[in-house]
Amino acid sequence: MKHFAMSFREAGERPGGPAPLRAPREAAIGLLLGLIGVVISAATLLRRLAGWPFRVAAARRAMRDLADMSARELADIGLSRQDLRDVSALALDDYPTRILVMRVAERARR
């Protein structure tokens, strides 16, 4: 019968002591990967902030186009003038499309 108990030396630990420290190279790689993650997160945030004015301008253009439509044209696409008033009260960084799509879907179920 084989004995399955391992000595502390075979396991790489000292009796009563902490586990061995990671090698300096592994620690450096972990630190580098962490820094890369931070840089990527910062770049993503900067890209979102830089693109924000363009998204707001595009949303305003779309709202202006919808506001220029007649009540009949809005009804053809499942919207009403009140829907436009509702989404115009949203903050600039909110997406009006989500609310308008939900309104159209609600009316389609009726």
Q: Which two tokens stand for residue 71?
A: 């009540």
Read off the pLDDT of residues 94-105 as tens digits, 9 standing for 90 and up.
Answer: 778 888 999 999
pLDDT of 65 strictly over 90: yes
Judge whether 1 lies within some domain. Answer: no
Mean per-residue pLDDT, 87-110? 86
Distance CA 14, CA 77 (A): 73
State how many domains the chain has.
1
Does residue 13 lie in a domain region? Answer: no
Q: What is the pLDDT of residues 4-26, one digit of tens each?
A: 555 545 555 555 555 555 677 78
User: What domain range is 65 assigned to?
Assistant: 22-109
pLDDT score for 85 = 93
> Is residue 2 a part of any domain in this protein?
no
Confidence at residue 86, expressed as pLDDT on a 0 to 100 scale: 92
Residue 103 lies in a domain: yes
How far is Cα 62 from Cα 58, in angstroms, rounded to an integer?
6
**Does residue 7 sit within a domain?**
no
Q: What is the pLDDT of residue 31?
A: 83
